[in-house]
Amino acid sequence: MITSWQSIIEQQQTLSSNANLELTSLFMPLTQLGVLKVTGEDGQNFLQNLLTNDVTDLAINQSQLSGLCNAKGRLFSVFLLIRRKEHYQIIVPKSMCALLQQRLAMYVLRSKVTITDQTDELVCVGLTQPSDDQIESLSLSDMIYQGYGHNNHLCIKLPSNLNRWLYISPQDQADELCKTLAEQQWQLASDSIWNLLDIEAGLPMVFPESKEKFTPQQVNLDLVNGVSFNKGCYPGQEVVARLHYLGKPSRRMFLAEAQTNDLPEIATEVTTEDGNVAGHVVYVEHKSSSTLKMLLSLKLTEDKSKVFLDQSTLIDVISQVATE
């Protein structure tokens, strides 16, 4: 029985990723995510001058994928940016939260902007549903990246072949959220399912192991509406724009699977039969105890039918995600 937020966290640790997504409404605490809050009268201009996407396009409770690059056009971080009524929120892997906060703080200077970590004040919950028969009861949006907010709660629909939402709630109201979900027969599931849905949707992610390793094009950020080529300058913009208008990416991101029990580290090399580097792991999760599902940044010139993890585990490259 679900009695409190803490109890579901404890229960979740015992669950696998083998839920039937096509038949069941699921909810999963996303303790792997962190939240940064950007406040101040200069907040919009501050973010607009730093990020790959056009912040001015956002309406209240709307979100977008975006990235922060270094001067060489390499991604320091990729995240979901949300505009709230009086501030912005950044949803990012918890392992990147402090690093991103520190990097953003370097650019504040005289701007009237404050960046705070809200991770301990808020809870993030993933919701998935095979059909729309319950969405009205939780006021869930039906438009991708559009959110519905009320009473300090926000729910945003995200890309997936299922119905999928990110629900953000104040920490002190998490128990009430659990009660509502339980009453409506939502079933608790592993947070690994959320990671798998990110991977299947082709959503790039940057972790501490991979920061400043990839350009936006190498992880398809430009193909999932995470880069605006109509806005002004930001760190690395010249490199990103030059590649877009004058060149062709040497790498793109691909969906892949591999039969192994061992979860490779982020940024692990993917090699050819000859031992040459063909690319790197961008995002990976267990699909089952013996199968991995991955996003790989791969050289377009390599034969993708014969690439390996650890020079021994054959990778099945399924397709390029988010094609041009």
Interatomic CA distance for residues 282 and 206, integer angstroms: 7
Q: What pLDDT is recorded for position 132? A: 56
Residues 30 and 162 in one domain: yes
Residues 195 and 270 in one domain: no
The residue behind tokens 């880069």 is 227
Q: What pLDDT is recorded for position 8? A: 78
| DSSP classification of residue 305 | T
* Assigned domain for 220 exists: no
Closest CA to 293 of 194, 209, 219: 194
* Assigned domain for 229 exists: no
Q: What pLDDT is recorded for position 180? A: 83
Closest CA to 322 of 196, 213, 218: 218
The structure's pTM equals 0.94
Residues 64 and 195 in one domain: yes
Residues 33 and 152 in one domain: yes
Counted domains in the chain: 2
Residues 176 and 324 in one domain: no
CATH number of the domain within which 254 lies: 2.40.30.160
Q: What pLDDT is recorded for position 137? A: 53
Residues 282 and 175 in one domain: no
- The pairing of strands 251-259 and 313-320 is antiparallel
Interatomic CA distance for residues 168 and 181, integer angstroms: 14
Task: Reduce the DSSP state of residue 204 to 3 states and report it.
Answer: coil
Mean pLDDT by 10 residues, the chain (324 residues): 70 68 82 98 98 97 98 98 97 98 96 97 92 57 86 90 92 84 84 95 97 98 96 94 90 97 96 94 95 97 90 93 72
Q: What pLDDT is recorded for position 56? A: 97
* Assigned domain for 176 exists: yes
Q: What pLDDT is recorded for position 187? A: 87
Residues 295 and 172 in one domain: no
Residues 152 and 84 in one domain: yes
Residues 29 and 165 in one domain: yes
CA terminus-to-terminus distance, the chain: 47
Interatomic CA distance for residues 286 and 15, integer angstroms: 13
Residue 308 belongs to what domain range?
A: 250-324
Q: What pLDDT is recorded for position 305? A: 87
Domain boundary among the residues 163, 182, 200 is at 200
Q: What pLDDT is recorded for position 142? A: 78
* Assigned domain for 213 exists: no
Residues 121 and 35 in one domain: yes
Handedness of CA 54, 59, 64, 68 (dihedral sign): positive
Domain boundary among the residues 158, 183, 200 is at 200
Q: What pLDDT is recorded for position 18? A: 66
